[in-house]
A and B are shown apart, each in its own frame.
Chain A
Amino acid sequence: MKEQDFQIRVIRFLSGEMSAVESEHLLKAISESAEKQKFFEEYQEIWEKAEIQSPIPEVDLPEQWQQFENQAFVEEPAPRVIPIWSRQIFKIAAMMAIIVSTILAWSIMTKAPIDSMEMVMHETSVQVQEIALPDGSKVWLNQGSKVEYASNFQPRTIHLTGEAIFEVRHLSSDETFTVETDVTKVTVLGTVFMVNSGLESKGATVFVKEGKVAFEALDKKENVEILTAGQQAVYNVNLHSVSRIENPSSNLFNWRTGSFSFNDSPLAEILPALESYFGVKFNIANPDLLSCTYNSEFSNMNIEEMLEELSFGLNLEIHQKQPGVYVVDGIPCK
């Protein structure tokens, strides 16, 4: 991501977009790092090489004029008026991605009478929430999710409905951190991971970003998957078993980080990711479009910027039909 930012700055410099002050900063940064200097020199070289352009071909003016005469002066009689600026615009009206921030934060509820222990509950509706747990661990709670735990957090057990990312603080080796969903249990042996409690039809999933976790089905305890960084597993509701998922998507954490990375990803994958992150809805005018693929990294962009980039790259027409609802149209890719 940083390299991408640096690249954009270098190119802005080369194309004369930078003010003197900005240029000075950039050149200073370049002079301080051998790596940056190499990168800069490469781009400078490319920029200069790219100037070598094939010559502009000569046109046969009399022939062109004749062609014009035949068309313009013959087609008359009455002059027609055609608007010159029939601009091909995809106009995305300013979209208010303002997210209602009504969140039940720290709404403490007493969950009697199981052990008459005070329970803490956090619940999100449409906004992601970051929660600090009593032991110093962190939870990022995705939209429409809920976590509950005993206020003293002893033992470190948390109940999840929906989806959350956990960054677990490592205490002594025998002190576990457990996330329970209705049907599964994840015991943490390491640090950053995500749990989705799943819907009725779709089983719970766990994705581990760093460290190591054990994922088991509550109704079949012998079936345990030990997951390490980059691994994902799913609980199958019908089989009551836990199994690995090959090649997890790289965008599972985007709702926390605000960044997306698409690698030859089809629109069929991109649009749902944007829908759930921005809370918008897409209507596809032509289903063939869904197989168009796109390559890009987005970070900290708003929905308008993302859609502009996407429609530009794939030659799509994206119109806002009503707030939060977009119609996607265009010529399907091959």
Chain B
Amino acid sequence: MINLDTEALISRLAASEQLAMKEIFHHFFPLVFKKIFVIVRQKELSEDLAQEVFLKIWRKREKLEIQQSLEGYLAKMAYHEALAHLRKKTTEVQAVENEQLENVMMSDGHLEIESMELQDRIELIIKGLPPRCRGVFMLSRYEGKSYKEIGDLMNISVKTVENQMGKALGILRHELQDLLIIFLLSLIWV
């Protein structure tokens, strides 16, 4: 990545220079998108939320107070945008996702996923987690955040983070039970 003179960029931005905004956008949009996607798991939605982050930056350009790096600042905004989405997520959005899940659901309510590729299975299980529980899990597993950082981002206690991690992994373990049996057998035979 090219080293950006972020301080200069921010002051140019404050002077309402559209070119500065363009530079920032092109440099950081993929990063912001990725941070959001990890939590939200839907491409178009993640793009919309990432757009929202940059719109906020632009609208607030004269009052930006960035203590840390611009990258860190944007990453934090990305998390907030994604997590706020999880919180206010309407039943409508949930309904769409449930429909996706139902497509692979068998009549007895179990997921017919034993034959799927592992990667797709995990993706599906993760999508099926309760939204904010998924947020906690993704921040820990894929973003390497500490429980304390997650708690601060989501405004919850470390204890709740612990419980939600337990919940997420409990569900994964339950849904991947068949793999575990194979895995544990392989331990015995090796």
Chain A residues close to B by CB (< 8 Å): 4, 7-8, 11-12, 15-17, 38, 41-43, 45-47, 49-54, 56-57, 59, 61, 64-65, 67-68, 71-73, 79-82, 84-91, 296, 301, 305, 308-309, 312-313, 315, 331-334
* Contact (Cβ within 8 A) A65 B22: yes
- Interface positions, chain B 130-165, Cβ under 8 Å from A, are 130-133, 140-142, 144, 146-147, 155-157, 159-160, 162-165
Chain B residues close to A by CB (< 8 Å): 16, 18, 21-22, 25-26, 29-30, 33-34, 37-38, 43, 47, 50-51, 54-56, 58-63, 77, 80, 83-84, 87-91, 94-95, 118-120, 122-123, 126, 130-133, 140-142, 144, 146-147, 155-157, 159-160, 162-166, 169-170, 172-173, 176, 179-180, 183-184, 187
Report Cα–Cα, A68/B56, bound state, in Å: 11
* Contact (Cβ within 8 A) A11 B162: yes
Task: Pull 27 A–B residue pairs with CB atoms less than 8 Å apart, ordered by A.
Answer: A8-B162, A12-B165, A15-B140, A41-B184, A41-B187, A46-B176, A46-B180, A49-B122, A50-B122, A52-B118, A52-B119, A53-B119, A54-B123, A59-B33, A64-B25, A68-B54, A72-B59, A79-B61, A81-B62, A85-B80, A88-B83, A88-B88, A88-B155, A308-B160, A312-B156, A313-B133, A315-B87
* Contact (Cβ within 8 A) B91 A72: no
Chain B residues, Cβ within 8 Å of A73? 18
* Contact (Cβ within 8 A) B56 A43: no
* Contact (Cβ within 8 A) B184 A38: yes
Q: Which listed residue, B60, B155, B173, touches A46 by the CB 8 Å rule?
A: B173
List 18 extra interface pairs beyond A52-B118, A65-B29, CB under 8 A: A12-B162, A15-B140, A15-B147, A16-B144, A41-B187, A45-B179, A46-B169, A54-B119, A54-B123, A68-B25, A71-B55, A72-B55, A72-B58, A79-B16, A84-B60, A89-B155, A309-B163, A331-B90
Report Cα–Cα, A52/B169, bound state, in Å: 14
- Write the nearest CB–CB distance from B22 to chain A, whole angstroms: 7
* Contact (Cβ within 8 A) A61 B119: no
- Write the nearest CB–CB distance from B5 to chain A, whole angstroms: 21
- Beyond A53-B142, A72-B58, A334-B91, whether A315 also contacts B165 by CB under 8 A is no
- Beyond A79-B59, A79-B61, A305-B160, whether A57 also contacts B43 by CB under 8 A is yes
Number of A-B contacts (CB under 8 A): 157
* Contact (Cβ within 8 A) B146 A17: yes
* Contact (Cβ within 8 A) B165 A15: yes
- Beyond A49-B122, A68-B51, A72-B21, whether A59 also contacts B29 by CB under 8 A is yes
Q: Which listed residue, A4, A52, A82, A331, touches B56 by the CB 8 Å rule?
A: A82
Q: What residue in chain A is nearest B133 (Cβ atoms)?
A: A313
Report Cα–Cα, A17/B145, bound state, in Å: 10
- Write the nearest CB–CB distance from A31 to chain B, whole angstroms: 15
Chain B residues, Cβ within 8 Å of A56? 33-34, 37-38
* Contact (Cβ within 8 A) A71 B141: no
Q: What residue in chain A is nearest B89 (Cβ atoms)?
A: A315
* Contact (Cβ within 8 A) B173 A42: yes
Q: Which listed residue, A47, A51, A59, A65, touches B169 by the CB 8 Å rule?
A: A47
Chain A residues, Cβ within 8 Å of B88? 88
Q: What residue in chain B is nearest A304 (Cβ atoms)?
A: B157
Chain A residues, Cβ within 8 Å of B140? 15
* Contact (Cβ within 8 A) B164 A312: yes
Chain A residues, Cβ within 8 Å of B126? 50
Chain A residues, Cβ within 8 Å of B56? 82, 84
Q: What residue in chain A is nearest B123 (Cβ atoms)?
A: A54
* Contact (Cβ within 8 A) A81 B123: no
Chain A residues, Cβ within 8 Å of B43? 57
Chain A residues, Cβ within 8 Å of B37? 56-57
Report Cα–Cα, A315/B154, bound state, in Å: 12
- Write the nearest CB–CB distance from B83 to chain A, whole angstroms: 8
Report Cα–Cα, A57/B40, bound state, in Å: 13
- Write the nearest CB–CB distance from A170 to chain B, whole angstroms: 39
* Contact (Cβ within 8 A) A305 B159: yes
- Write the nearest CB–CB distance from B108 to chain A, whole angstroms: 17
Chain B residues, Cβ within 8 Å of A82? 56, 59-60
Q: Which listed residue, A64, A84, A87, touches B155 by the CB 8 Å rule?
A: A87
- Beyond A15-B141, A17-B147, whether A84 also contacts B77 by CB under 8 A is yes
Q: What are the 7 closest A-B residue pairs judged by CB atoms, nearest first?
A: A72-B58, A88-B87, A54-B123, A57-B43, A11-B165, A15-B140, A8-B162
- Beyond A59-B33, A82-B56, whether A65 also contacts B157 by CB under 8 A is no
Chain A residues, Cβ within 8 Å of B180? 42, 45-46
Chain B residues, Cβ within 8 Å of A86? 84
Report Cα–Cα, A301/B162, bound state, in Å: 13
Report Cα–Cα, A319/B56, bound state, in Å: 28
